[in-house]
Amino acid sequence: MSVVGIVSMKGGVGKTSVTANLATALAQKLGSGRVSVIDLDPQNALHWHFGIHDPETEGVCRQSLRGEGWGGIALANEFDVTCLPYGAASEPEREAFEALLSNQSHWIGDQIGQAGLSEDRVVLIDTPPGSTVYLRQVFACADLVLIVLLADAGSYATIPAMESWLDEMSAVSPHLRSVYLLNQIDRSDSFNRDVADLLQRDIGDRLAPIGIHGDEAVSEALAFQQPVLTYDPYGQASHDIARLATWMITTLNR
Ligand SMILES: Nc1ncnc2c1ncn2[C@@H]1O[C@H](COP(=O)(O)OP(=O)(O)O)[C@@H](O)[C@H]1O
Ligand SMILES: [Mg+2]
């Protein structure tokens, strides 16, 4: 099994979109029963991308508090991606779950290990922004972490904080691989282009070889509650994400 975390220090950079769309592209290439996504963000939005719209979804938060395994909360969908939502949760439930995660540093990895998933599966985990308990859990169990960045000053400013996290976590997980993933690239915008060039200069060797262009089909697809790969299969973002999936399959040896 391969576990991939999708993280960022800043919100709104495209983590959830990347998780849903990349999972769909991986499923298209690997076939049925090979890809799962887990939503570790209390916003509980990932399942929307797969057309699942029950606001009272059961998910990993309550299921963990009940001490029950995660097998029963996996939602199938027409995109061949098994989705484990964060689920509906009250504020005290969220706090209790986060306390549990603070006390047991490998909880998420243990749950994935016990969920009965096949050895050939790829599991993508979506996270909330910032240095949270969720981020720590993901770093403890992932084989690969994708750090999503926009080519803007806000994302650029978060790189030192992320680098110190990576230093700290490399002591705990020495085999963890991490790459920065540039999202919403816009070569027609001079500022976007300048920051992208700056990133290439500073962390070029740590950037994923394929970035994702800004493409309004990504937001439109969410409005239609489906991945962009099916909403607009021949568009720029779908093309980029499909290439990224191919790179990832090679990187993960799948
Ligand atoms: N490549 C892209 N092109 C255009 N819009 C995008 C792209 N990636 C994400 N978005 C949009 O950016 C917004 C934030 O994305 P989201 O995935 O929710 O970010 P996060 O999970 O990091 O908070 C959404 O409106 C989404 O549709
Ligand atoms: Mg999100």
CATH annotation of 2-251: 3.40.50.300
- Cα of 18 from ligand 1 centre, angstroms: 8
Reported as a pLDDT band with limits 50, 70 and 90, residue 235 is very high
The predicted model scores a pTM of 0.97
**Which residue has its alpha carbon closest to ligand 1 atom 16?**
14
Q: What is the pLDDT of residue 179?
A: 96
Output the CA–CA distances (angstroms, integers) from residue 127 to 43, 79, 190, 221, 235, in the order listed: 10, 21, 30, 21, 26
Q: What is the pLDDT of residues 142-165, one digit of tens each?
A: 999 999 999 999 999 999 999 998
- Cα of 40 from ligand 2 centre, angstroms: 9
- As given in the structure block, the two tokens for residue 167 are 């230093």
What is the radius of gyration, based on Cα positions, of the chain? Answer: 17
What is the residue-averaged pLDDT of the chain? 94
- 172 pLDDT exceeds 90? no
Percent of the chain clearing pLDDT 90 (strictly above): 87
- 251 pLDDT exceeds 90? yes
Q: Identify the bridge partners of residue 154 per DSSP, sorted by sequence position.
A: none
Q: Which ligand 1 atom sits closest to the C-alpha of 41? A: 21
Residue with token string 């990133």 = 199
**Average pLDDT, stretch 164-186?**
91
- Cα of 108 from ligand 1 centre, angstroms: 25
Domain ranges of the chain: 2-251
Q: What is the pLDDT of residues 119-131, one digit of tens each?
A: 899 999 999 999 9
Q: What is the pLDDT of residue 116?
A: 84
Q: What is the pLDDT of residue 54?
A: 75
214 lines ligand 1 (CB under 6 A): yes
Q: What is the pLDDT of residues 46-58, one digit of tens each?
A: 999 999 877 678 8
192 lines ligand 1 (CB under 6 A): no
Q: What is the pLDDT of residue 72?
A: 84
Q: What is the pLDDT of residue 26?
A: 98
Q: What is the pLDDT of residue 170?
A: 86
Rounded distance between C-alpha atoms, residue 177 and residue 122, angstroms? 15
17 lines ligand 1 (CB under 6 A): yes
CA end-to-end span of the chain: 9
Q: What is the pLDDT of residues 90-141, one digit of tens each?
A: 999 999 999 999 999 999 999 999 988 888 999 999 999 999 999 999 999 9
Q: What is the pLDDT of residues 183-230, one digit of tens each?
A: 999 999 999 999 999 999 999 999 999 999 999 999 999 999 999 999
Q: Which ligand 1 atom sits closest to the C-alpha of 18? A: 17
23 lines ligand 1 (CB under 6 A): no
Q: What is the pLDDT of residue 94?
A: 98
Q: Which ligand 1 atom sits closest to the C-alpha of 237? A: 1
Strands 81-84 and 177-183, how do they pair? Answer: unpaired
- 247 pLDDT exceeds 90? yes
**Which residue has its alpha carbon closest to ligand 1 atom 12?**
14
